[in-house]
Amino acid sequence: MIKKKQKRGQFVVSIALLIAIIAMTAALSVYFASMLHHQFRYKGYKEIISTINSDFKRALTNALSKATHDYVGVKPGGEIDLESLTYNYTLLRLSAQNFMDYWKQTVINSYSSMGLEMNLEYRNKFLLEEKKENYSGIGITIPERWLYNLTTAYWFYPESISAIRANLSLNITGIGFYGFKTSELVYLILGIDINDLKKQAQSGEINHLNVVVLKEGGIPVHDLTTKNFMIRVFDLYTGS
């Protein structure tokens, strides 16, 4: 009888261990399934955020390009007629605004099944310091430059700038992701070497211009040709 009791005791213990192992296996399966689900969710929103964020800067770049073309009344790649340029500041901002509104709605529609919520804000941004220059004895103050209402174009200065800036915030309610925010500033600055220009003027002949074109982060723009430039001479004495 003692041996039988020992066997039954061992059998009970074995069953208990088996149940414990099954329970642990089930718990681990649930845990790993949960972890895998979270990994998929993490990868899902990371990829969406990365895609939208990259496209956000491209959208601003394209909006600035279109807006500045509309500003002067020239089609991209079209011929430039100096006498027909419009310089319509209202159209500059309207063009950029319409482009960004269209981009925003397109992105929302693309991720509508995931509950994407997006908002764009256009805040003021300081761009360039005030400068004082002297041209042939004529003192000129170049005012500080600010960006208002999405985009701006400060041209007709030795240091000119076209810029666009927006703040982006979004939620992806379908996967429980909230609170992503970012901001992008896109610009081109063209600076003329005034000292070189003065030396040429003193020699009695101006036959070239030294210019530097910079983009975001002060990075030089290298892929420009003479077709990217339009030179218009302004006489300070006659005002024409």
- Is residue 146 one of the residues assigned to a domain? yes
Residue 163 has pLDDT above 60, yes or no: yes
| Torsion sign (Cα): 61, 64, 70, 76 | negative
Residue 236 has pLDDT above 70, yes or no: no
Hey, which bits of 173-221 come out as E strands?
177-192, 211-215, 219-220
| CB of 161 closer than 8 Å to CB of 179 | no
- Is residue 97 one of the residues assigned to a domain? yes
- Structural domain span for residue 149: 16-187
Q: How confident is the model at residue 229 (pLDDT cuts 50, 70, 90)?
A: confident
| CB of 138 closer than 8 Å to CB of 7 | no
* Confidence at residue 48, expressed as pLDDT on a 0 to 100 scale: 85
The answer to which of 56-65, 136-145, 211-220 has the lowest mean pLDDT is 136-145
- Is residue 48 one of the residues assigned to a domain? yes
* Confidence at residue 235, expressed as pLDDT on a 0 to 100 scale: 66
- Is residue 85 one of the residues assigned to a domain? yes
- Is residue 59 one of the residues assigned to a domain? yes
The answer to which of 35-49, 91-105, 210-224 has the lowest mean pLDDT is 35-49
CA gap 164, 93 in Å, rounded? 10
- Is residue 220 one of the residues assigned to a domain? no
117-134 pLDDT tens trace: 999 999 999 999 998 877
Closest of 110, 97, 47 to residue 67, by C-alpha: 97
How many separate domains does the chain show? 1
Cα 209 to Cα 58, 204, 234, distances in angstroms: 31, 15, 14
| Pairing label, strands 151-154, 159-172 | antiparallel
- Is residue 239 one of the residues assigned to a domain? no
Cα 35 to Cα 22, 32, 41, distances in angstroms: 20, 5, 10
- Is residue 225 one of the residues assigned to a domain? no
